[in-house]
Structure 1
Amino acid sequence: MNAHKETFKTRFNKALSVKNIKPTELAEKTGLSKSTISHYMSGYTKPKSDKLFILAKALNVSEQWLMGLDAPMERFDPEVLKVQKESRNQYAEKWNIQFYEKKMLDSFSKLNDDNKKKGISYAENLLQNQILEEELSVRAAHQRTDQKPTEEDQKHDDDIMNNDSEWE
């Protein structure tokens, strides 16, 4: 459970110092009076939750830390989580590829020489089949049905199929 490490007064003054904000600037930024800020600095009063939120946001610190609890000073920002999630998604595919490559190499290293040759042959066959499937699917997608295409017609069709600007 979070225990109080310091008083609000101590944390508030520390935040002003660390963030290099003058009390008058904070008063302008928050809309709170200069005397209210002064009372918080002296420890004469402590803010209620609505004012605490305003102060923490203006100082860019967490409310829990400002209250004196054992919590990080940094303010929680949901946008940071969004960016982190996008970054994780961006690298997840790369990580999966690296994971499978490592797993494949680890398994391959345990094979005897005959099985290594069979594994290479099998992988090459899979690759050739994949290339053939891709070529056939592209050709099937634009194969002429009205007449047998000439080499020139086929080249023209291939150029159109492979030109990204045609598909924008």
Structure 2
Amino acid sequence: MAENTSTRLKAIMAQRGLKQADILRLAQPYCEKYKIKMGKSDLSQFVSGKVEPGQWKLTILGLALDVSEAWLMGLDVPMERETTPASLDGDGRIGEFVGLFCQLTAEQQALIIAQIKGILSAQ
């Protein structure tokens, strides 16, 4: 059977004696810092394999569990986390922006993108 996020989450839960509530507790500081919402339902769907986490939730899980996101996705790479993603280094503004941006509707996102392009073209 091919490895995926579900099988990897189950493996790390068994290996470390973690429950889903433990993972949520570990993830909470990162969720708060980067304004990413992840609840019981999200994690349950990831563990069951019904849903694959998006990039930011995968990053939050990787940080919380101190494992490589690529490993967590099921790729044949080492489990160990080598570095913190560059986009999460620094003062957290990028993470905060992405978290807020993801909460907008598609129409609102398009307006923000147009605004950013306008600012950049005026430089």
> The TM-score by the shorter chain falls in which range?
0.5 to 0.7
Are 2:63 and 1:66 equivalent residues in the alignment? no
Alignment of 1:77-92 (within 5 A): 77=83
Deviations 1:44-91 (A, max 9, x none): 10100000000011111111100000100111147xxxxxxxxxxxxx
Are 2:47 and 1:50 equivalent residues in the alignment? no
* Greater length-normalized contact order (CA 8 Å, ≥ 6 residues apart): 2
Alignment of 1:62-141 (within 5 A): 62-77=68-83
Query: What displacement does 1:35 show?
Result: 1.3
Which residue type is aligned with residue 71 of structure 1?
A: V
Q: Provide TM-score, normalisation by structure 2.
A: 0.55
Which residue type is aligned with residue 59 of structure 2?
A: F
Alignment of 1:134-153 (within 5 A): none
Moved over 3 A (4+): none
Q: Equivalents in 1 of 2:25, 2:16: separation in Å?
A: 15
Kept after mapping to 2: 8 A contact 1:15/1:61: no
Kept after mapping to 1: 8 A contact 2:26/2:65: no
> What 5-or-longer segments of structure 2 have no aligned partner?
29-37, 85-123
Are 2:18 and 1:25 equivalent residues in the alignment? no
**Partner residue, 1:12:** 9
SS at 2:51 equivalent: coil
Q: Provide TM-score, normalisation by structure 1.
A: 0.41
Query: What displacement does 1:28 show?
Result: 2.3
Q: How many residues align?
A: 74
Q: Equivalents in 1 of 2:16, 2:83: separation in Å?
A: 17
Q: Equivalents in 2 of 1:22, 1:77: separation in Å?
A: 25
Name whichever structure is richer in helix by fraction.
1
Which residue type is aligned with residue 75 of structure 1?
A: R
> What 5-or-longer segments of structure 1 have no aligned partner?
79-168
In our comparison, the structure showing a higher alpha carbon Rg is 1
SS at 1:39 equivalent: helix
Deviations 1:18-49 (A, max 9, x none): 23221011112223211111111100101000
Which residue type is aligned with residue 15 of structure 1?
A: I
